[in-house]
A = this chain, B = another copy of it.
Amino acid sequence: MTIRTGFDGPRICFLGDSFVQGLGDPEFRGWVGRVLQAAAPGATAFNLGVRRDSSAQVLRRCWPEVGARVLPGADNRLVVSVGANDAMEEAGVPRVAHHDTLANLAALLDGARKRGLGALVVGPPPVVCGGAAHLDRLRALVPAMAGLCADAGVPFVDVTGALAGDPVWTAEARAGDGAHPGAGGYGRLAELVLAGGFRAWAGPGPGPDGFGPERT
C-alpha cells in the first residue's frame, strides 16, 4: 500500500497578492496555473497569494506557511511577487514606502537562501485604476528590484511596463474591478513570466541564474 513515485518535480510556493492568487480569473488558476501547465507539469505547487497583502504582510506569514510545504531533501522553490499593494495610497501616502518594499523583498530572498530554496521574483503588475502616481511608483520599484535580485543571484521578471501597455490586460481590468484582469490578461502575464525566465528556472535542478538546494 504505497503511492508510486510521481509528480516528483520541484515543490514551488508562490507568495504574493491578489495577482498571484489569480483574482478575477474565471478559470481560478491565474498566471500561476498557466505557467505551471506550460513549463512545470511535474511540479507540486502551492498558491500563497493573498488579496490586498503588502510585502510586509507577505514577509510576516511567509516562513510558517512555506515551512509547512517544504519537504526536506526535495527541490523546494519560491516565487515572489509583491509591490502593487505597497504602492497603493492610504491616507495620502503609499501603504509601504519604496525602500521598505525593497527591504522586505531582500528579507524574503535572504530567508530563501538560508533555507536552500531556489527563488524567482516577478515584478508588480500594474493597477489600471491606480492612476499615474501609482504606476510611477511601480516603475521606480522595477529597476531597484532587478538590481536587488541580480545581487542575490535570483532571476527577476519585469512585467510592469509591458502589461501597462497591453490592450488585453487593460481592457479586462477596466471591465472588471479596475485592477484585476480575466483569463486573457492572466494569460498575457503568464507569457511574460515564461519568456522572462520561468521556463528555464523551473526545469530540473537549479535554474540558470537561481540558487538551488545543493548550495545550502
- Chain A contacts to B: CB under 8 angstroms: 1-7, 21, 23-24, 26-29, 32-34, 36-37, 41, 44-47, 50-51, 57, 61, 64-65, 68-69, 88-89, 127, 129-131, 133-134, 176-180
Contact = CB atoms under 8 A, between A and B. Distances in A.
Given A89-B1, A129-B1, A6 B178 contact: yes
Contacts of A131: 1
A76 B7 CA distance: 32
Given A28-B45, A37-B28, A51-B44, A1 B61 contact: no
A69 B50 CA distance: 7
A15 to B, nearest CB: 12
Contacts of A3: 127, 129, 177-179
A50 B37 contact: no
Q: How many copies does the complex hold?
A: 2
A5 to B, nearest CB: 7
With a 10 A CB-CB cut-off, give which of A47, A130, A176 has the most chain B CB atoms: A47
Contact of A27 (B2, B26, B33): B33
Contacts of A176: 6-7
A134 B33 CA distance: 31
A44 B133 CA distance: 28
A47 B47 contact: yes
A84 to B, nearest CB: 10
Contacts of A69: 50
Contact of A28 (B1, B23, B29): B29
